[in-house]
Homo-oligomer: A and B are copies of this chain.
């Protein structure tokens, strides 16, 4: 039952995706790669690449990140080699946190 309501996004979320798409497009052109070339390399269709560069919110994150990797856009601003380290670090931190959370339903800020 995959969603009967269109789904909504915060503007920050939309901006972030659009920015990522723009960065990808910029990087691709600067490296003089055709859309088809990148699409093939990423194992996706040219149409999907177009949507990614346009900042379409409904693309697999895997496809987007893969393309970003290919054209040389760094995620997290983090050094490529440093990523696995951060990953382990995050896993360790998670191990220390409580397994489940009791919600006190305290009001939280919600201004996007």
A residues with a Cβ closer than 8 A to B are: 5, 7-10, 12-13, 15-20, 22-23, 25-26, 28-34, 37, 41, 43-44, 57-66, 68-69, 75-78, 80, 83-84, 86-87, 90-91, 93-94, 97-98, 101-104, 106, 108, 110, 112
Contact call B65/A7, Cβ cutoff below 8 A: no
Query: Known contacts A13-B69, A19-B86; can you find 20 more A-B pairs with CB under 8 A?
Result: A13-B65, A16-B75, A16-B76, A19-B87, A20-B76, A22-B91, A23-B90, A29-B94, A29-B98, A32-B106, A33-B101, A34-B101, A34-B103, A57-B65, A58-B60, A60-B60, A61-B61, A69-B112, A76-B76, A77-B78
